[in-house]
Amino acid sequence: MATKKHAVLIFSKPPIPGFVKTRLTRSRGGILTDEQAAEFFRRSLYDVSELCMHALLELQAENDALAAADPAADRITYDFYVSTTPAENVEVMRETFDAIGPWPMEVHYLADAGATFDDHFDDAFSQLFALGYESVVSVGGDIPTMPKDHIIQAFQWLDYFNALGTPGFVQAPCQECGTSLVGWSAATPLDNQGVYYNTGGKAALDAYVEKLRASGAPSAYLAPVADIDEGTDLAHAISCLRAIEEAAPHQGLFVPRRVLDWIDFMNFRVTTPPNENHDPRQYIDSVRPDGQTD
């Protein structure tokens, strides 16, 4: 029997007006004020965090049941982390989460450091691996449509690769050739250098693929999930969130309630230009098998 630790890691800035989701603001061509953009991000961060916690609690319950039935089974614990920068923002993030506590799980905090985002990403993962975590899965706080099953499946894939003796990698793309979820294990031969801070024009998703091919590490691919940076991203998310809300009773989906309540409060409605394009099916359907028209 082995004892293992896994962690979810959320990278986040504090939800301060003018500091987050600036591309949604009027000063950058968007529709929101700085305060509204920060409020959206705060609610999204809360919903994504709760979703991750529910996923970890499901994984924990599954392992607890397995360990109770089989004393030789590995015992796994799951923890939830938020990483921010600089170090003085840790207290701001703590206050942000404490403001609506208690949470289903304890929230742990890190301060990541580096000259580039790649450095910050590597630093946060390295800190968790140094604390004894075998695998880490990271998601952004601006993805309220993230499926709970993505978190669960990510850890299942990493456990599977570790069981084979070939520590691996898991990712879900976003809508712009980047990633909405990434995860790997302490022994996976991978880092983020040149992935996000790329001066040669290479997309993050492609950079990861190149690294995986060079290292030989196995990988798992999860369905894309869009983050929210631009106004069109927000419109897409609103439609998806409504669909999630409608399907939740039938599929057991997690509903990002805080973001949906904000959308209702803001009275946002998604519209598209009327589509009057005519598909002349009657001409196609009227062609007989012998090629003659009726």
> Do residues 34 and 18 touch, judged by C-beta distance below 8 A?
yes
Whether the pLDDT of residue 279 is over 80: the answer is: no
Backbone angles phi, psi at 39, to 5 degrees: -65, -40
> Domains along the chain?
3-271 (3.90.550.10)
Q: Pick the closest to residue 78 from 8, 161, 169 (CA basis).
A: 8
Q: What is the pLDDT of residues 54-82, one digit of tens each?
A: 999 999 999 999 999 999 999 999 999 99
The predicted pLDDT at position 256 comes to 97
**Which whole number is the average pLDDT over 4-13?**
96
Question: 1 vs 124, which has greater pLDDT?
Answer: 124
The predicted pLDDT at position 293 comes to 54
DSSP 74: -
C-alpha distance from residue 44 to each of 97, 167, 228, 241, 281 (Å): 12, 31, 10, 12, 44
The predicted pLDDT at position 198 comes to 79
**Which whole number is the average pLDDT over 152-181?**
95
